[in-house]
Amino acid sequence: METKIFKPDQVSEAAELIKQGQLVAFPTETVYGLGADATNEQAAGNVYAAKGRPSDNPLIVTVSSIEMVEQFAQPLTDQVKQLMTKFWPGSLTIVLPLQPGKLSKTVTGGLDTAAFRMPANQVTLKMIATAGVPIVGPSANTSGKPSPTLAKHVYHDLNGKIAGILDDGPTQVGVESTIIDMSTAVPTILRPGAVTVEQLEAVIGAVKADHHHVKANEIPKAPGMKYKHYAPSAQVEIVDHVNDFQSAMDWAGQQREAVGVMATDDVLANLQLPANVEAFSLGADVQSATHLLFAGLRHFDLESAVKVIFAEGFANEGLGAAYMNRVDKSAGGMHFTNE
């Protein structure tokens, strides 16, 4: 299969492929997603195959309007409507109970709920509206690899496996959306993202976070809760304290292989980098670091032959919760220690 690259003025061509049951990667403000007609069970199943994704990992349903959600979900509560009014289009995914039989188990992972999102990207919203159906929208990468923030990242992973890529340039946020479960008695954050706990609570009151480990025989309610994610070929190690970075560099200088380091500019400016260490700037602060995290992991995966990547850690609060969630999964929980 030839994977065609579509520009924003070719939205109608991309939408036609969706209507034909083909797979088309699409841009959002967070990362690139992999789209297929969510009402076409075979097309949704092909998404799992293209990504190498476990079949019990549910797919996000991406929509262009609230009316599209109402075709599939149970009647929306006042709290859900408040969230949609405040954060849609945007980086919030909402898990909702479904009307019976409206979406296939292939999309839902066998659950009676589904996660819905309306991304803040006009090109993609136009494609969905033109196709006339919601699309599934997991990240457009090989399952487990860093999420794509550029069309070329999608092409690297999925060239020949999907029909097209709708290229709208680099994404703005850089990590996937916040996922909140509104099918439970207390609204529950299943995945932190650009929309923070504080922002959610300002709209609907108290929410809680779900940190439980999803068991082998348990179906996760949302992506990213069960399987290792965001992992480049190199081993990532989180450096929790700025004072430990030089120790990490001293260790790196003793290795025969190349080593990567991802940190903010202030940290990099004060490090003595050995000749075998390549630095990738995460910018000035946690906001830029969150935006650039996947780009950095992809850089070392595609353009450098490093064996280890040291990544800066941040306080696990606000936007830092989203950053730490992703970098911890990419590292498999490994943190640098100088002991």
Query: From CA 118, how far away is CA 91, in angstroms rounded?
Result: 8
Residue 274 belongs to domain spanning: 235-331
Tell me, yes or no, whether 181 and 279 share the same domain.
no
Tell me the β-bridge partners of 117.
62, 93
What domain count does the chain have?
2
Residue 304 in domain: yes
* 55 is known to lie in a ligand binding site: no
* 30 is known to lie in a ligand binding site: yes
Residue 214 in domain: no
* 247 is known to lie in a ligand binding site: no
Residue 339 in domain: no
Please report the pLDDT score of residue 215 as a whole number: 58
Residue type (1 letter), 167: D
Phi, psi of 242 (to 5 degrees): -55, -35
pLDDT by residue (tens digit) across 48-57? 999 987 766 7
pLDDT by residue (tens digit) across 109-118? 889 999 999 9
What is the average pLDDT score of the chain? Answer: 93
Tell me, yes or no, whether 9 and 141 share the same domain.
yes
pLDDT at residue 142 tops 80:
yes
Query: From CA 166, how far away is CA 164, in angstroms rounded?
Result: 7
Please report the pLDDT score of residue 321 as a whole number: 94
Tell me, yes or no, whether 273 and 163 share the same domain.
no
Q: Which residues of 137-164 are buried (b: 16+ CB within 10 A; e: fewer)?
A: bbbbbbbbbbbbbbbebbbbbbeebbbb
Tell me, yes or no, whether 20 and 124 share the same domain.
yes
pLDDT by residue (tens digit) across 212-232? 556 556 666 766 554 556 788
Please report the pLDDT score of residue 338 as a whole number: 78
Q: Where are the alpha helices (DSSP H) in 178-238?
A: 197-204
Lay out the sheet containing 92-97: strands in order across. 4-6, 164-166, 24-26, 33-37, 135-136, 60-62, 113-117, 92-97, 178-181, 188-191, 208-209
* 139 is known to lie in a ligand binding site: yes
Q: Identify the band that residue 303 occupies on the pLDDT scale cut at 50, 70 and 90.
A: confident
Tell me, yes or no, whether 253 and 113 share the same domain.
no
Residue 146 in domain: yes
Name 29's Cβ contacts closer than 8 Å, sequence gap at least 6: 90, 91, 119, 120, 121, 171, 172, 173
* 191 is known to lie in a ligand binding site: yes
* 230 is known to lie in a ligand binding site: yes
pLDDT by residue (tens digit) across 69-103? 999 999 999 999 999 999 999 999 999 999 999 99
Residue 227 in domain: no
User: Which residue, among 38, 12, 34, 16, has the nearest Cα to 25 in the 3D structure?
Assistant: 34
Residue type (1 letter), 55: S
Q: Is the dihedral of CA 156, 157, 162, 168 positive or negative?
A: negative
Q: 229, 52 in Cβ contact below 8 A?
A: no
Query: Which CATH number covers residue 290?
Result: 3.40.50.11030
pLDDT by residue (tens digit) across 175-192? 889 999 999 999 999 999
Tell me, yes or no, whether 48 and 190 share the same domain.
yes
Mean pLDDT across the stretch 265-285? 97
* 117 is known to lie in a ligand binding site: yes
Predicted model pTM: 0.90
